[in-house]
Amino acid sequence: MKDDISISILDAKDKVTFLNSLVKAKENIQSLDVKTNIYKLNIHFDVMDLKFVPNVGVDLKYVEIAKKMGFFADVHLMVQKPVEDKFIDKAIEYGADNITIHYEIENFEESLKYLLKMKKKIYDKENKNFTIGVSLKPNTKIDVLKKYISKIDRILLMSVEPGKGGQKFIDKINDKIIFAKEKYKNTIIQIDGGINEKTICKPIREGIDSIVIGSYLSKSLNFTELYNKILILNCIHTIEKTPRRANMKLDTTTLQVVDGGYGENDILLGINVPDIRKCANVWYKYIGIECIRYFFSSPFHDYRRFAIFCIINNINILYKKVLKDNKDKNSLKQIKDYFKLFEDNIMYVNNWDLTDVAGPNIFAYILYMSNEKQKKKKLYKYLNSNNFWTKRIAIVSMLNFVKNDYLELPLEVCDYVLYDNFHLFQKATGWVLRELYKKEPKVIVEYLHDKNKIKKLPSILLSYACEKMTIMEKEKIRNDIDEV
């Protein structure tokens, strides 16, 4: 069963124009070469009668329009008398694929029996798998459906009070999702109300099958905004469906996601780095700056990793194009846009695992694409930053320079921060020196030997810098012997 987003058109000002935009969005999504479970886009029709809820909903005529456009029509009847007032008959006449009624209506059992009768009739006549749903208000317990579960295809859990768009998501519904998924394994579990890019995460994590989304999408100002939001929701779906294989105890400790730690405000989802990189590899070609911006500022650490990997993937491709043709203005502009995105959101690159991929793979390229004067100015601006993560980005960016045999600048940076007393800088500097040693072993041994004579070097820095050295080289640096 493919997960779906059932898009409510209740709050769309011009419903036909909005449906046309959704047709285009659906076609674009379906054309992506993405080997992952992309959301199927359905249309949700909130039909009301001013009795069961004090509001007027969508005219059922839009079901027929949506069907002609090729959409699955998901009809939600928030009405007191769906049979007597002919709502069911009219929805079926217009081509509804699913009709959901409320458990809380007066004649629920009779209405359900009528739907079952119509389901058989539709199948016999059209060979069509028409489905039946039952909706529960936020305070209605799921157990009430136990005796009816064999007769229904989906359970719609209202995550707001029914009848009005734009309400705030009720968090306790996440517990109902867990209970429903466990108790009714063969039934589609759907939620409706208050869903946006922030509230959707936990329901996906808990295994929700279908999500009704209204004003978050229907109030988009233009197609680009609408399409970007749909892309974001699909990226979230990919991330949240990724297995949790990380060692949470280890990550919590090493990233200091504890009270008073430098990662205390982070939320870890438990997705390991290779898996989140795979998520980025799926989506980076298709999501632009605005989509990445959402993930960059997320409270979820794993989402920020995703954003950084997406930027890295794009910069790698664009930089190669620029090297091949420095007159490629489009690629140049895109690189600058990614650099700006990175620098505008650098406050979110706030743990060592993020700095240590962003420094060599993003900031280094900012430096490469600057002239000598600009390069030094930007580098030392980072090195002198009051934000210690920004300073670490500058230090570890030198790993890229060492890798590409530009050794003078990395050694200059090491010299600048050599005696810093903060352990995160000592580790980063030692790491750069270790890589420099691989390129110029004698030079680095002499350099550390001389510096340690002038002033004792931090032990953490030395442990990293000397990791690949011989015993005699280490002894020379400690000034135990004079020659190697």
Surface-to-core class of residue 315, CB atoms within 10 Å of its CB (0-12 exposed, 13-18 middle, 19+ buried)? buried
Query: What does the DSSP assignment read for 153-202?
Result: SEEEEESS-TT-SSPPP-TTHHHHHHHHHHH-TTSEEEEESS-STTTSHH
Query: In sequence order, what are the residues at sequence separation of 6 or more whose Cβ sits closer than 8 angstroms to the Cβ of residue 475?
Result: 481
Using a 10 angstrom Cβ sphere, with 0-12 exposed, 13-18 middle and 19 or more buried, the burial of residue 207 is middle
* pLDDT-flagged residues of the chain (< 70): 1, 164-166, 480-484
CA 161 – CA 100 distance, rounded (Å): 16
Asked whether 352 and 424 are in contact (CB, 8 A), the reply is: yes
Contacts of 459 (CB under 8 A, 6+ apart): none
> Which of 11, 74, 97, 192 does the annotation list as catalytic?
192
CA angle, 16 then 26 then 317, to 5°: 135
Q: What is the pLDDT of residue 484?
A: 44
Other Cβ atoms less than 10 A from the Cβ of 115: the count is 25
pLDDT value of position 479:
75
DSSP character at residue 34: -
Identify the three-state secondary structure at position 318.
helix
Give the list of residues 6+ apart from residue 458 with CB closer than 8 angstroms, or none.
Answer: 419, 420, 421, 426
Of the candidates 46, 74, 97, 251, the residue annotated as catalytic is 46
The pTM assigned to this predicted structure is 0.94
192 is annotated as an active-site residue: yes
Q: What is the pLDDT of residue 128?
A: 93
The answer to whether the beta carbons of residues 311 and 338 sit under 8 Å apart is yes
Contact 354, 312 (CB under 8 A): no
Single out the residue of 244, 243, 262, 242 nearest to residue 252, CA to CA: 262
46 is annotated as an active-site residue:
yes
The pLDDT of residue 480: 56
Give me the domains of the chain, ranges plus CATH numbers.
4-240 (3.20.20.70), 243-348 (no CATH), 373-484 (1.25.10.90)
Per the listing, tokens 């519904």 go with 173
Q: How many CA atoms are closer than 13 Å to the CA of 75, on its beta-carbon side? A: 32
With tokens 């809820």, the residue in question is 53
pLDDT (tens digit per residue) in 293-349: 999 999 999 999 999 999 999 999 999 999 999 889 999 999 999 999 999 999 999
